[in-house]
């Protein structure tokens, strides 16, 4: 992971899996934060704005409300953008929202232009609509106002960019993951093939055990499979939401792909669920580490 005095991170585009047609709407981005709230577990790291979990966030590290602190996103390749949405503050539990400052206004600058003040709405979202002709190469988001709490830290949970040439927000990947996209592609393909056959030996290679699986059925509880044989049996009984088979899937089935942490990505399939792959072990390899059966 590359770092600068501003906490530099690099994120990159989504990729294609062998035998599957993926919507390629990813954009590379260099991400910088002016300061970061200290935490041993990287709970407030800049990359938190990419994980699409609104209960996590980048938080500034100043001893006051952090007015003037912010994020800079630089895009190596320009692309057409029509809107930017910023999830200001922490959007998790009521306790999380109460513990952190509530940003009320942001300054947003496009392509080194003059900052535009944008009010944060009642749902905690600030939206800046861009002229259709804008080719985005740099985006700067800074805190311009906040209602302080006792903890007195201001945060940004996420930044979403609507592209003019795709009906979806951009999928962002950290650079170290994107550089290993060939290995990620192969890991997804191997897992899809293993579950397509419900083959215990193939599952043992493609999956990190124990594997947590949340079935699709409403009210189903998460099951932790300790052995490949029991996982293969559950697969044969239709109790494991499987990746669409390696023969190929339609673009419409692959809803989202994005980083959830350095060395971990999440795939969203329409009507099937979410599948988390991670690079772990010695030597480190990409494998399926969690199946979440909530249809997306």
**Which range has the worst mean pLDDT, 20-24, 144-148, 282-286?**
20-24
- Tens of pLDDT, residue by residue over 154-176, are 999 999 988 887 657 777 887 77
Would the pLDDT of 248 be above 70?
no
- 295: tokens are 């249809």
| pLDDT > 70? residue 116 | yes
Identify the domain containing residue 163 by its residue range. 27-170
| Per-residue model confidence (pLDDT) at position 147 | 92
Q: What are phi and psi of 248, to 5 degrees?
A: 130, 150
- Pick from 143, 76, 55: which is nearest to 106 by CA? 143
Domain membership of residue 272 (yes or no) is: yes
The number of domains in the chain is 2
Considering 143, 170, 197, which residue would you say is the last residue of a domain?
170
183 contacts: CB under 8 Å, gap ≥ 6:
279, 285, 286
Mean pLDDT of 180-196: 86
Same structural domain, 155 and 32: yes
Give the pLDDT mean for 38-47: 89
d(CA 121, CA 127): 9
Region for residue 56 given its phi and psi (left: phi exceeds 0; alpha: psi -120 to 50; beta: otherwise): beta
pLDDT, residue 23, reads: 37
Residue with tokens 């189903």: 220
Residues 62 and 156 in one domain: yes
Residues 106 and 190 in one domain: no
Average pLDDT of the segment spanning 1-22? 39
Q: What is the pLDDT of residues 21-34, one digit of tens each?
A: 443 445 777 889 99
The pLDDT assigned to 88 comes to 95
Q: Of 170, 193, 214, which residue is a domain's last? A: 170
**Least reliable range by pLDDT among 14-23, 30-39, 201-210, 261-270:** 14-23
Residue 5, domain member (yes or no): no
Supply 226's token pair: 């300790």
Same domain for 85 and 193: no
Number of residues assigned to the chain? 296
- Which single residue is written with the structure tokens 């700067």? 140
Find tokens 């494991």 and name the residue. Answer: 240
pTM of this structure:
0.81
């Amino acid at each position: 992971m590359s770092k600068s005095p501003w906490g530099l991170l690099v994120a990159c585009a989504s990729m294609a899996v062998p035998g599957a047609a993926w919507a390629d709407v990813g954009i590379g981005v260099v991400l910088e934060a002016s300061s970061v709230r200290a935490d041993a577990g990287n709970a407030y790291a800049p990359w938190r704005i990419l994980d699409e979990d609104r209960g996590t966030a980048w938080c500034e590290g100043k001893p006051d409300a952090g007015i003037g602190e912010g994020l800079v996103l630089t895009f190596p390749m320009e692309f057409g953008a029509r809107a930017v949405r910023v999830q200001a503050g922490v959007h998790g539990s009521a306790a999380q929202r109460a513990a952190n400052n509530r940003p009320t206004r942001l300054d947003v600058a496009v392509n080194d232009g003059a900052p535009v003040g944008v009010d944060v709405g009642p749902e905690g979202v600030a939206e800046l609509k861009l002229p259709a002709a804008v080719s985005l190469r740099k985006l700067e988001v800074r805190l311009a106002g906040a209602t302080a709490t006792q903890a007195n830290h201001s945060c940004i949970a996420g930044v979403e960019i609507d592209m003019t040439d795709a009906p979806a927000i951009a999928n962002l990947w950290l650079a170290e993951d994107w550089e290993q996209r060939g290995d990620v592609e192969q890991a997804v393909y191997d897992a899809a093939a293993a579950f397509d056959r419900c083959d215990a030996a193939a599952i043992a290679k493609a999956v990190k055990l124990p594997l947590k699986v949340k079935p699709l059925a409403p009210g189903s509880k998460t099951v932790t499979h300790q052995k490949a044989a029991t996982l293969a049996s559950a697969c044969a009984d239709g109790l494991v939401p499987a990746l669409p088979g390696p023969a190929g899937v339609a673009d419409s089935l692959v809803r989202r792909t994005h980083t959830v942490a350095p060395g971990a990505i999440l795939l969203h399939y329409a009507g099937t669920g979410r599948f988390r792959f991670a690079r772990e072990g010695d030597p480190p390899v990409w494998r399926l580490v969690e199946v979440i059966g909530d249809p997306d």
